[in-house]
Amino acid sequence: MTRTPGTGARRSRAPVLLLSALALAALLASLGWGAVSVRPDQILGVVLERAGVDAGIEFTAQQRAVLWNIRLPRALLSALVGAALAAAGVALQAAFRNQLADPALLGVSGAATLGVVLAYAFGLVTTLGRWALPAAACLAALVGALWLLRYAARHAGSDRLTLILAGVALQLFLGGVATLLVNAVRRPGMPDASFLTLGGLTVVFWRDVGLAAVVVALVAALLVRRAPVMNILLLDDGTARALGVDVARQRALLAGLAAVATGTVVAYGGSVAFVGLVVPFLLRRLLGDDHRVLVPAALLAGAVLVTLADALARNLFSPMEIPLGVLLTVVGGPLFFWLVGRGRTVGRW
């Protein structure tokens, strides 16, 4: 059967366009849903007004204040959190050739959380400002990723589930250390332990959104460029080397990019689990394993998932707010159990 030129490109663009539309719809739903209701046209009116354009759309001062100062930065950051964690999951799964890999299940999120606590404990936030949070979180996450790489190299012949068990143990250990430090060393502005371990976006500043957007965009661009190499890494190491890929170097690069993305969003949103597991799993079932499609699709699908989850966390039991990580764990936990059982049955892990 003949294929017309560009058919593959059109098929790869279709899911990205659909997910882009879903991301926009999720953003509008998050912005409009709450105690103060805001219609989509009013959202547009507020944004245009801030840009200096009077569109003639009526809205109240309360709607303007709630939308611009609270909901819009929070919704944008939730989209960035989802995009970063989903992309990090894809990168880690390619690096370790393990579809159970997730920043939280491998301890990368736990390392980033400890970095945040240390930044507060040593007074870096007070002296250097809030940019010290993602810097410390990324550095700690990179150390955690480096440890994982060394562990994987040392135990290359063992069951791949062993890596996940080691990562879960690392996540629990680092989470315990972070909780201990939070309770032992109190500093101005230091979040409580539940925020750090369960995640949440209760306090978001525009400068946080700007910094996170720059970092996530850079990581996303680099991962999109590495997509063909990620496809090769799915093969065995011998085949990948025969095709000219420096396996160790590429794994280190992917793990490093995943660590930077995770550290950046954990600094502002706490440790949110299972996004990097749920999103890649669903997309692989729908779109296959081609990372040229999978990486951009994961960025958008992750944004959709966390944006909607954050809206639910805010409004499901209003005025009480549910930690973001709790909702996502309810979704991701059963999937993790199923994947472990399925992998054991078919001998995949």
Render pLDDT for 112-152 as a digit per residue (tens, 0 to 9).
999 999 999 998 888 888 889 999 999 999 999 999 888 88
pLDDT digits (tens, 9 = 90+) for 50-85: 988 888 889 899 999 999 999 999 999 999 999 999
Nearest to 328 by CA among 102, 71, 50, 61: 102
Residues whose CB is less than 8 angstroms from the CB of residue 229 and which lie 6 or more positions away in sequence, other chains included: 245, 250
Chain-centre distance for alpha carbon 185: 28
Domain that holds residue 330: 81-346
Q: Rounded distance, CA 26 to CA 88, Å? A: 21
319: preceding bond cis by omega (within 30 degrees): yes
With tokens 């201990």, the residue in question is: 180
The confidence band for 25, taking pLDDT boundaries of 50, 70 and 90, is very high
Q: Rounded distance, CA 275 to CA 332, Å? A: 7
- Evaluate whether residue 165 is within a structural domain: yes
Quick one: what percent of the chain has pLDDT higher than 70?
93
Q: Find the farthest-apart pair of alpha carbons in the chain and give their distance in angstroms, rounded.
A: 68
pLDDT at 8 over 60: no
Chain-centre distance for alpha carbon 249: 23
Nearest to 44 by CA among 60, 36, 29, 55: 55
The confidence band for 20, taking pLDDT boundaries of 50, 70 and 90, is very high
Q: What phi-psi label fits residue 274: left (phi over 0), alpha (psi between -120 and 50 degrees) or beta?
A: left
How many other C-beta atoms are found inside a 10 Å radius of the C-beta of residue 276?
Answer: 34
Which pLDDT does position 346 carry in this prediction?
43
Radius of gyration from C-alpha coordinates of the chain: 21
What is the signed CA dihedral for 113, 114, 115, 120, rounded to 10 degrees?
A: 100
Which pLDDT does position 342 carry in this prediction?
67
pLDDT digits (tens, 9 = 90+) for 221-252: 999 999 999 999 988 888 889 988 899 899 99
- Evaluate whether residue 132 is within a structural domain: yes
- Evaluate whether residue 227 is within a structural domain: yes
- Evaluate whether residue 60 is within a structural domain: no
First vs last C-alpha separation in the chain: 37
Q: Rounded distance, CA 121 to CA 115, Å? A: 10
Q: Quote the tokens at residue 285.
A: 């079932």
pLDDT digits (tens, 9 = 90+) for 31-43: 999 889 999 999 9
- Evaluate whether residue 291 is within a structural domain: yes
- Evaluate whether residue 287 is within a structural domain: yes
The confidence band for 156, taking pLDDT boundaries of 50, 70 and 90, is low
How many alpha carbons fall within 13 Å on the CB side of residue 283? Answer: 32
Count of domains in the chain?
1
CATH of the domain at 160: 1.10.3470.10
The confidence band for 337, taking pLDDT boundaries of 50, 70 and 90, is confident
Which pLDDT does position 349 carry in this prediction?
41
Q: Rounded distance, CA 194 to CA 177, Å? A: 13
39, 72, 103, 260, 321 from 68: Cα distances, Å? 14, 5, 31, 28, 20
pLDDT at 345 over 50: no
Which run of H or of E encompasses 6? none
With tokens 């098929």, the residue in question is: 11
103: preceding bond cis by omega (within 30 degrees): no
The confidence band for 332, taking pLDDT boundaries of 50, 70 and 90, is confident
The confidence band for 183, taking pLDDT boundaries of 50, 70 and 90, is confident
- Evaluate whether residue 11 is within a structural domain: no
- Evaluate whether residue 91 is within a structural domain: yes
